[in-house]
A = this chain, B = another copy of it.
Amino acid sequence: MLDNIRIVMINTFHPGNIGAAARALKNMGLNQLCLVDPREFPHEEAESRAAGAKDLLEQATVVSTVEEAIADCQLVIGTSARQRSFDQPLMDAEQAAGMITDEARSGQVAILFGRETMGLTNEEMMLCHRHLFIDANEDYPVLNIAQAIQLVCYELRRASKQTEALPEPAPYPRQHEMTLFHEHLEKTLHRTGFIIPQHEGRVMDKLRRYFNRTRPEKAELGMLRGILTSVEEALEREAHDPTLDRSPQGGANKT
């Protein structure tokens, strides 16, 4: 189950932190490290800090965008130093670990860690289904990124010992399917006039948060996509229906 959990480090500045993170993962029995656009990698400082976990460095995936890092994941967790207020439900590391190990029985889960200086951007936070924070000293809650990764992996290991190992059928769609759905949804809402070009961003942000929070299952997503398609097809039919009265007074009424 720990094999299905991917630790994603975005735009890491210090290669030493990447090495320390690799070691932190291996110490806790994880093995998936994904680096999104690291500033310097490979680097001897990463090798050095990885110590006995150089194999994880070699196996690490390096990609250019966050979307690539999470495309095949059914659950995406964002981390932050502070309890930032978004709509995604907020959990401490222990709570999140329970949810993550549970889902990791049936599919891939990604946990996103941001830049040393500023963590994750708002956009990256909104890609996530849930947010995780590490309970820390209010006077100084910002942990070193490799330390934060160590704590999260520690909680994951602990939770994995309590979670039943039986695999479950995977009910959730993967991130790239959700991305396609959001694109489809946006296009459809433009066509229906629900989205006006001036306010486009806010509506889609709100909808994205809604779907991240409620997490439609595969079958449900199938229904939602079917609904969108039916709306589009209905609009197509009406657009080409010769019997409709298109006079300004009549509206789109059939004569």
Contact = CB atoms under 8 A, between A and B. Distances in A.
Interface in A137-156: 137, 139-144, 146-147, 150-151, 154
A149 to B, nearest CB: 9
A136 interface: yes
A139 B136 CA distance: 30
Contacts of A154: 134, 151, 154
A27 interface: yes
A213 to B, nearest CB: 27
A25 to B, nearest CB: 9
Interface string A6-27: 0000000000000010011011
A13 to B, nearest CB: 13
Contact of A151 (B29, B137, B151): B151
A208 B46 CA distance: 43
Contacts of A150: 143, 147, 150-151
Contacts of A29: 136-137, 139
A78 to B, nearest CB: 19
A157 interface: yes
A157 B142 CA distance: 15
A53 B29 CA distance: 30
Interface residues of A, number: 28
A95 to B, nearest CB: 12
A27 B158 contact: no
Interface string A36-49: 00000000000001
A150 B148 CA distance: 9
A140 B53 contact: yes
A27 B141 contact: yes
A135 interface: yes
A51 interface: yes
A136 B28 contact: yes
Contacts of A222: none
A97 to B, nearest CB: 13
A164 to B, nearest CB: 19
Given A27-B147, A151-B150, A158 B137 contact: no
Interface of A: 20, 23-24, 26-29, 49, 51-53, 134-137, 139-144, 146-147, 150-151, 154, 157-158
12 contacts: A20-B147, A27-B136, A27-B140, A28-B136, A29-B137, A52-B142, A135-B158, A137-B157, A143-B150, A147-B150, A150-B151, A151-B151
